[in-house]
Amino acid sequence: MQQIFNFVIKNKTFLLFLLLFSIALTLTIQSHSYHRSKFINSANGLTGGVYGTFNTVGQYFNLRDENAILVEENKHLREQLLNPISNKDSSYIGSDFSKGKYRIITAQVYKNSYSVTNNYLTLNKGKNDSIKEDFGVITSKGILGIISNTSKNYATVLSILNKKSSINAMLKSTDHIGSLKWNGDSPHYVQLDDVSKFAPVKIGDTIITGGQSTIFPKGIGVGTIDSFDTDISGDTYIIQVKLFNDMTNIGAVYIIENLDRLEIKTLENSTNE
Amino acid sequence: MNNVVGTNIIRFILLLLLQVIICNHINFFGYINPYIYIIFIFLFPIKDSRLILLLVSFLLGMLVDMFSDSGGVHAAAAVCLAYARPILLKTSFGMSYEHHSIKFSTTEIGSLLTYITFGTLVHHFILFTFEIFNISNILLILKKTLFSSIFTVILSLLIIILFSRNRK
């Protein structure tokens, strides 16, 4: 017994190091293997408050860009209003909204990141604004990500620039579907995997969300095809998609709630049983 | 003594805020960010217990992790750096660092540069290894380590020299 105590006291620095290091390692592994990091995330009062305080200063520097984006969006909406038939060829939010299937909440980005391999954003809306996990997040230009954690007043978004992200998307011209992933390289490009070899893929074609999940409505713009290649087996295409969004410059966003989500989920669960 | 504790607490908070509000968003060339919060670990008083240094470094890393949604990568790297600090001190300031109790404000630039460079390299390599967590991307890890380290070393050296009193 004495020897054990002596050993502990003699090596206390190393043992403490080992303990702290293994805690950090556990958290790291957990954050790499699960969809949500349970303990350490920026959707809490402390981090949200700090980001909020400094965001009120930073906002003024982006006012010019924000205005330009709003004018662009207004123009787009006005065009849709004046040409109701032609809205089929716009990559904008579909006409589904008129049926009242979706609720939209506006929010501000408090923290944006795009330089690491698993990127998250922090928004200034949370449970108090009835934001829940798995709501979709878009900007006026295209998709951004999915809500991953919420606290009272803040929420974190699993960005499409995250290795854990996988979103259903399709070619606009032919409805061939694939899953949208990111290889960690450039914040301006994502990859569309598992697209059938029989799809007529053309450079410059538009990619939109597929509407097969309950998160995003069908027809929200993602990007245009930049280049494409067959994968190792030769059966499917891997498409490089240039994003509509400039992920490095994001201010105002829209959170989408699918009001039929619960109904669809219960139906799917009862079918699976 | 109180003075030293106070200085360190202020330094802790200032460096943390500087890191999460400014330095995490520089994204030079798209991915290069300096991680200047490790200055706190470099400048931590040598005479104080290593146990306290380990605990404080862990806390600092954890807070940076919380702000940047990165799991535990900063905590792991900071703890490793804190544990390796005596070895770094020995290699850069000579065997007798314990008896002389160096003041960072009066050391030669050369030794200081060696100390910071090796420390930064150790910290950044562990940081990016855990962040990418895929050994097949070793080239990406090394690339990020190298460029971010250059940025961090230059910034750290400037900050330490600017804010150290008594330099002639």
User: Which residue of A11, A116, A163 to mutate against B (max B Cβ within 10 Å)?
Assistant: A116
Long-range contacts of A3-8 (CB under 8 A, 24+ apart): none
According to the model, what pLDDT value does residue A18 have?
Answer: 92
User: Which residue of B41, B69, B140 to mutate against A (max A Cβ within 10 Å)?
Assistant: B69
SS3 content of chain B, % helix, strand, coil (to 5): 75, 0, 20
User: How near does any CA of chain A get to the CA of B26, in Å?
Assistant: 10
According to the model, what pLDDT value does residue A87 have?
Answer: 47
Residue A86 or B54, more confident: B54
Residue A176 or B94, more confident: A176
- Is the pLDDT at B37 greater than 80? The verdict is yes
According to the model, what pLDDT value does residue A5 have?
Answer: 87
Question: Cβ distance A192 to A207 under 8 Å?
Answer: yes
Cross-chain residue pair B71–A25, CB shorter than 8 Å? no
Q: Does B76 touch chain A (CB under 8 A)?
A: yes
pLDDT below 70 — which residues of chain A?
34-39, 84-100
Predicted ipTM > 0.90: no
Q: Does A50 touch chain B (CB under 8 A)?
A: yes
Cross-chain residue pair B75–A47, CB shorter than 8 Å? no
The residue type at A240: Q
Long-range contacts of A241-245 (CB under 8 A, 24+ apart): A241/A180, A241/A189, A241/A190, A241/A191, A241/A192, A241/A207, A242/A188, A242/A189, A243/A142, A243/A160, A243/A188, A243/A189, A243/A190, A244/A91, A244/A141, A244/A142, A245/A139, A245/A141, A245/A142, A245/A143, A245/A144
- Is the pLDDT at B97 greater than 70? The verdict is no
Chain A residues whose CB is inside 8 A of the B32 CB are 115
User: What average pLDDT does this structure show over B6-13?
Assistant: 91
User: What average pLDDT does this structure show over B146-161?
Assistant: 91
Chain A residues whose CB is inside 8 A of the B20 CB are 47, 50
Supply the mean pLDDT for chain B.
86
Cross-chain residue pair A16–B71, CB shorter than 8 Å? no
Query: Smallest Cβ distance to A37: which of B31, B50, B71?
Result: B71
Range of lowest pLDDT (A4-13, B113-122, B158-167): B158-167
